[in-house]
Structure 1
Amino acid sequence: MVEGKPLGPLAGPAFEIVDPRFAACMVEGAAVERIWTGSRWTEGPAWLPDRGLLVWSDIPGDRMLSFEPATGRIATFRAPAQSPNGNTVDRQGRLVTCEQTPHRIARTEPDGTMTPLVDRIDGRPFNSPNDVVVTRDGVIWFSDPSYGRDRSRRDDDGVSGCHVYRFDPASGTVRQMTHDFVMPNGLAFSPDERLLYIVDTGSTERADGPNHLRRFTVATDGPLGGGEVLVDADGGHFDGLRVDTEGRLWLADDQGIRCHLPDGTLIGRVLLPERASNLTFGGAARDTLMITATTSVYSCRVNATGAAP
């Protein structure tokens, strides 16, 4: 079992103001705290409000770890863990996880048992589910790039492209929702769930590939509309993102976390000493950024409230 305590605040400023409007998001005197370190790639932070617990994925270690702010305790949440990646929490407080080894979405029940939810579409297996969100109606949306699948097998195992899918646990229906992504990655909905934001990290797959954030309109049981590029990484690397109650976008990149207005305007950053992979809003007031990065997990209070998971 992993046991430990938070490692303390980082030296230097937590915030970088790009636009004066970012000042409203800052907490005076707030610092970036390093919660844990010791991985080659952390991912998938999720806040379990009923338990006051942050969980995240240590992908190379094939395990999930947890942090309890009330006690400062860090422990193993699950190991082995089927090469876990993205995580989220549904409206019943259950953890929903992208498991790369069995190429599926699975749910952790209140008693700790695992329920496999979906692992294929039209008889074809998924690549390696990467990130996941659950809407108010309980429908699960997830991205499925091929990062977690053996490159030598990508063309001969029945997988068809890299897409975003929509799975309805009530009906068992799974639908492919995108058709033109190279590597769909992080995704998040606007607070009213009328807009869906999806990152394409295709530049990691091919030299001329994209690394940007696209915006889609969401129709009830219909196809996605729009799909225009809202923010480009400009040579950098995006990954996961979350949205606050004001519709601002908090986006992981090489320097830490970027904050954008809903129209795409960059207004500020939360600075880290390494590349960030993903984030969530945690704590009782959902006003603490909890961030996974290359080797470590960080937290920082902000004057913003995360939209419902």
Structure 2
Amino acid sequence: MEYKQRADRRRFLIAGAGAGLAAIGAPAVAQSFPFTPNQRYPDPSVQVMDPSFTRYRIYSSTVEQVGSGMRWAEGPVYFPDGGYVLVSDIPNNRIMKFDEKTGAFTVFKSNANYANGNTRDRQGRLVTCEHSVTRRVVRHESMGRVTVLADSFEGKKLNAPNDVVVKSDDSIWFTDPVFGINGEWEGSRAPREQANTNVFRIAPDGKLTAVITDLVNPNGLAFSPDEKKLYVVEWRGTPNRSIWSYDVGADGMSVSNKTKLIDAADQGALDGFRVDRDGNLWCGWGSNGALAPEPVDMNGRKVLQLRGKSEDLDGVMVFNPQGKAIGFIKLPERCANLTFGGPKNNRLYMASCHSLYALYVESHGAT
């Protein structure tokens, strides 16, 4: 079904993927980032840090820029039935769509309540974290209907739902830091009502439970392939950003045995990540913005520089299940989040500042 574009407004139909998610879009209008692909095989941007990573590198696959023109790209999710990726453009308050068949990169949904993390549930429906204004987790049904899954806890509004995953038992797990309400860039400034920044679980019957309450601004999260482990990024870790590992109880709801799996060190920034079938963690990576303690002279000015150079840090860091860094995909922009997609679930889509990048790998997403 097609929808005509009118001069005074655009209407977007959000339909469940099982019913053929569709929307009419317009070209992205924002800053575009120039990109020149590498011509050599293997792509020097795909760096082997441990011999074990060579099995995941495809010799004749290079990093591609498949869409640009965003201001802060986040939360990519792939829909196999339609062959497309949705990715949030948070400051522009919209969700973008990349169509694998046509190569078109268009607006999927405007006025998206500053959508951040997205995922697909077991029925193929889009689940979105609206991390400002509405501050809720929603599910997009057929014919444009939206179901609110969570918007408050214990009578108080959520902070700013950030990232979301769906477990095989149909429960939905999401993080609730404060990024969407602590400024005007990724939403609208608003008072915080929750005492903690929690990791929540929405049961299949709709019951909302705070599963983890002691992390400072939890961010990305994912389960191990067997769902016996839950991994969560702590954005304000002590002393550095970290990924914590938890054992998931036999009840499928409780977690225990909090263990630090990955420490990003004083220069790196962990954000979103995905797990492959072998249990490796493919992590968005870049500078955390930390400044050096002493200024340097630059053209007669004293300037505090970053501790680490963004051009050396931007990309995707790959860790094995034991937390050892085994590979790095160097990108010209900081990668915030990523997902596996493509017909064979072996195309890595990387949401990176202004652009969406893709790379075929000899690995497959766990879900």
TM-score when normalising by structure 1 = 0.93
Name the counterpart of 1:202. Answer: 236
- Counterpart mapping for 1:13-92 below 5 A: 13-92=44-123
Name the counterpart of 1:290. Answer: 349
Deviation at 1:40, TM superposition (A): 2.0
Maintained 8 Å contact 1:183/1:201:
yes
- Residue identity in the other structure for 1:105: V
Name the counterpart of 1:167. Answer: 202
Which of 23, 26, 30 is the equivalent residue of 1:2? 26
Q: Which has the higher strand share?
A: 1
SS of the residue aligned with 1:24?
helix
Judging changes above 3 Å, is the alpha-carbon distance between structure 1 residues 110 and 156 closer, same or farther for their aligned structure 2 residues? Answer: closer
Maintained 8 Å contact 2:347/2:361:
yes
| Unaligned ranges ≥5, structure 2 | 1-24, 29-33, 287-313
Deviations 1:151-181 (A, max 9, x none): 699895532211100011x322111011221
- Residue identity in the other structure for 2:245: R
Name the counterpart of 2:146. Answer: 114
Deviation at 1:117, TM superposition (A): 1.2
Maintained 8 Å contact 2:181/2:190:
no
Deviation at 1:20, TM superposition (A): 0.4
Deviation at 1:183, TM superposition (A): 1.1
Name the counterpart of 1:147. Answer: 179
Q: Give the superposed CA RMSD.
A: 2.1
Name the counterpart of 2:254. Answer: 223
Q: Higher mean Cα deviation, 286-295 or 8-17?
A: 8-17
- Residue identity in the other structure for 1:241: F
Judging changes above 3 Å, is the alpha-carbon distance between structure 1 residues 160 and 303 closer, same or farther for their aligned structure 2 residues? Answer: same
Judging changes above 3 Å, is the alpha-carbon distance between structure 1 residues 156 and 62 closer, same or farther for their aligned structure 2 residues? Answer: closer
Name the counterpart of 1:183. Answer: 217
Deviations 1:56-76 (A, max 9, x none): 100000000101111111111
Which of 142, 145, 156 is the equivalent residue of 1:124? 156
| Unaligned ranges ≥5, structure 1 | none
Maintained 8 Å contact 2:159/2:192:
no
SS of the residue aligned with 1:111?
helix
- Larger of the two Rg values belongs to structure: 2
Deviation at 1:90, TM superposition (A): 0.6
- Residue identity in the other structure for 2:145: T
Maintained 8 Å contact 1:46/1:54:
yes
Q: Give distance in 2, aligned partners of 1:244 and 1:198.
A: 16
- Residue identity in the other structure for 1:239: D
Correspondence 1:249 to 2:281: yes
Moved over 4 A (4+): 151-157
Deviation at 1:221, TM superposition (A): 4.7
Which of 157, 163, 167 is the equivalent residue of 1:135? 167
- Residue identity in the other structure for 2:54: A
Correspondence 1:233 to 2:264: yes
SS of the residue aligned with 2:142?
coil
Aligned length: 302
Maintained 8 Å contact 1:65/1:77:
yes
| Identical pairs, percent | 38
